Structure 1
Amino acid sequence: MAAVLTGAMDILYENSVSAIEGLQARFHQQSDVFFMVSNVFDPRYAFLFYSPFFLSLDWTVGKKIMWVTVVAEWLNQMLKWALHGERPYWWIHETQVYNKTGVTTPDIQQYFMTCETGPGSPSGHSMVTAAVFYVILDSYLKKFGFVKKNSTNLIAKFVWLVYLAMLAIVGASRIFIAAHFPHQCFLGMAVGWLVALGLDDINQKKTNTLRYCAITAGMLASALSMYSFLKAIGVDPMWSVSRAIKWCAKPEYVHLDTSPFFSMMRYCGFMFGMGFGFNSESFRRFSSNKVPLTMRIICAVLSVGVCKVSEKISFPKDNMTLFYIESFALNAVLAYAMIAVVPNVVSNLFPSKHKKN
């Protein structure tokens, strides 16, 4: 059974490599466009841009975005470890397919964004993008009355067509740079969409700080349990990191911030900070008042600015345990800052404009 499955996956990978070669050859002159798309829709911007921006403009939309981002990141890591997905840029060198057939190893190009270190399936870019933008589009379509029962609204249909086109472009960018196979992008889109659907009513649920801490602990425990289980059955959970280091064309292309443990510290830290932020007196006061658009825009600018500055912070990597602890703390602080600190600062700057609902 295992041999049959391996053979089927090799056929899928081999055909996908041909598609990657064709895509790279056809759109070589447009490579900068693909780099831009991969960068703009990087999962880290769900934490550092979309969450603070939309939370400041509309806290109900922002809170839902933060939840789907964290859950999508957690589920993505669990699935990556479970599915053991290859990445094109190293698979072509590790597989025996080309030795058996006598075909020359494909000439897949590597770029500065190619060498991600986590397993390849499902695509995190596709998964987080599908989840976050479903929340954004669905929330505002409902808010402005474009979603009604028993009606055929052309605007809503057009918006969802744009959504599908955007996911296709994001997937194409990941395939072009040889970071993912096509099926990994499709799987990411489907799971991300399901995550967004599953958390549709998250704003109606009361979640206190203790429960947020329990959820954080549960996510951390589940990830570490998966890690321990893989070790117990003889599978190296960090196998993909060694593959990335081995086959990346240039050492400086290897991205440590795409490693499984860094991702784990990011979503756990963010959830931990959310617990204290959403249950703070500052957030309760801010969310219960009618806040003028000017103040909300100022909050958005300040929150995104704080997150942007955080990207400049670099921790020493000589002690990886300390590095991960610092990453957890930074993400917890960022979540708390955008939820509680920045709105409180803006409220104090413009006290006369803060009105009770």
Structure 2
Amino acid sequence: MEEIYTQGVWMAEALQQRTRSQEKFWLLVTHIGDPKAAFLLLFPFTYFISKRAGVAVVWVAAVSEWLNLVSKWILFGERPFWWIGESRLFVNRQPNVHQFPSTCETGPGSPSGHAMVSAAVWWVVVSSLGSFLYSRTHSVVLSAAPYLLYVLMLVAVGVSRIFILAHFPHQVVAGSITGFILGVVLSHRVPEGRPLLFFFSFSICLLLGALTLHAGLQHLGINLSWSIALAKKWCSRAEWIRLDTAPFSSLTRDCGALLGLGLAQYWKPGGWSLPWAPRALSLAISSMGLYHVNRLPLPVRPQGLFYGLFFVKFVIVPQLVMVLVPGLVYLFTHKKKKD
């Protein structure tokens, strides 16, 4: 693996040197590829176009990110920004590379979560769009366009992760392939119309399953905090280490989002029926609401409190998008029509 890691570092160096002028673009792409962007950006946009696709985005994002977390605990993947120093292979020639605020993630590196979750959730979007275009135009070329954009998007997300030293190339490839497979499989098993008990039970199973695996590996003498220690040791700036990139943050986000999805479908089965103009208004208001929900400061000590509030934050996300905002818009427009 040393040779693969070494070549990955030199590739990152060449990428930074040749595309440094596109730094802002790569940072934007890595932000779009962040798993939380699937819940906060892609979900509301998709839901107000197609309710089923919106529900599928939350479902696929949560399950694929959970599987990514479990895979990382088992595979022990290194990250370039700490491996450069830990390997001691670059004493004679240090690579000319730079870190960024998004570089210092604290979980293991393999497979790439950005690539895996992006490949899974964006497959839901492009497959739905491709099918829609073909049903309306019967043009193979036009309906194939979303799939081409899908490939370009995955390449861009992967390159951005290599550029900022968050992943090695093989981790990006592994994440993309795995995410694509999960997207294809999970998009055919969307839990529409399931009772609240299903979502509650599924969320508890994901939580207990991850905690059981964590406890089992710890019992075997495997220290699962190794990546956090290395991230803190080799990150250029201490403030770039954030608790919301820790493995348990992913776990609480996924469990919270799934429970929130179940609650939203329980409160309003089938969702609100809105014309296009109220849908657009709902999308705008929901996006602003999620922006402020995401920016809510959470106390990082004690960590249990942080994770509990982080869980609640993502329980709120589907409520806001599927129930509260479209409900208020419906009431407002309904009254206006009656007047």
The TM-score normalised by the length of structure 2 is 0.94
Q: Within 1, Cα distance between the matches of 2:255 and 2:306?
A: 15
- Give SS of 1:279's match: helix
Q: List per-residue Cα deviations over 1:111-141 (Å, max 9, x = no partner).
A: 2221111111111111121112111111012
1:118 aligns with 2:101: no
Query: For the residues of structure 1 that align with 2:240 and 2:202, how far apart are their CA atoms?
Result: 34
Which of 134, 137, 158 aligns to 2:123? It is 134
Equivalent position to 1:57, from 38, 44, 49: 49
Equivalent pair of 2:64/2:116 in contact (CA under 8 Å): yes
Instruction: Provide the rounded CA distance (Å) in 2 between the counterparts of 1:145 and 1:157.
Output: 9
**Alignment gaps of 5+ in structure 2:** none
Larger deviation, residues 182-191 vs 38-47: 38-47
Between 191-200 and 167-176, the greater mean CA deviation after superposition? 191-200
2:219 and 2:99 map into 1 onto residues whose CA distance is: 34
**CA 1:204 to 1:319, structure 2 compared with 1: closer, same or farther past 3 Å?**
closer
- CA 1:285–1:257 in 2, change beyond 3 Å: closer, same or farther? closer
Distance 2:251 2:136 in 1: 36
Question: Aligned-pair distance for 1:40?
Answer: 2.4
Query: Is the 2:115–2:176 contact (alpha carbons within 8 Å) kept by the matching residues of 1?
Result: yes
Other-structure match for 2:32: 40
* Paired residues for 1:1-357 under 5 Å: 9-98=1-90, 103-145=92-134, 153-203=140-190, 206-280=193-267, 282-284=268-270, 286=272, 289=273, 291-351=274-334
Using the TM superposition, name which of 175-184 and 109-118 deviates more: 109-118
Using the TM superposition, give the Cα deviation of residue 333 of structure 1 relative to its aligned residue in structure 2, in angstroms: 1.6
Q: Is the contact made by 1:57 and 1:300 (CA closer than 8 Å) also made in structure 2?
A: no
Q: Does the aligned pair in 1 maintain the 2:256–2:311 contact within 8 Å?
A: yes
Letter in 1 for 2:332: L
- Contact kept in structure 2, 1:38 and 1:170, CA below 8 Å: yes
- CA contact 2:130–2:144 (8 Å) conserved in 1: no
Alignment check: 8 A CA contact 1:57 1:297 kept: no
2:64–2:117 contact (8 Å) kept in structure 1 = yes
Specify the code of the residue in structure 2 equivalent to 1:351.
Answer: H
Is the contact made by 2:252 and 2:310 (CA closer than 8 Å) also made in structure 1? yes
Shift of residue 255 of structure 1?
2.5
Q: Which moved more, 1:86-95 or 1:333-342?
A: 333-342
How far apart in 2 are the matches of 1:31 and 1:246?
25
RMSD: 2.0
- The residue type paired with residue 94 of structure 1 is E
Shift of 1:108: 2.6
| 8 Å Cα contact 1:122/1:188 also seen in 2 | yes
- Using structure 1 for the length normalisation, give the TM-score: 0.89
The structural deviation recorded for 1:226 is 1.7
CA distance 1:160–1:285, shift in 2 (3 Å): closer
Structure 1 position 303, deviation (Å): 1.4
Unaligned runs of 5+ in 1: 1-8
Distance 2:194 2:163 in 1: 41
1:231-270 CA distance string (max 9 Å, x none): 1111111211111100001111223211001111111111
Q: Provide the identity percentage.
A: 33
SS at match of 1:145: helix
Distance 2:188 2:78 in 1: 35
Which position in structure 2 is the counterpart of 1:6?
A: none
Task: Extract structure 1 runs of 4+ deviating beyond 6 A.
Answer: none
Answer with 29-38 or 64-73: which moved more.
Answer: 29-38
Cα distance in 1 for partners of 2:191, 2:20 equals 48
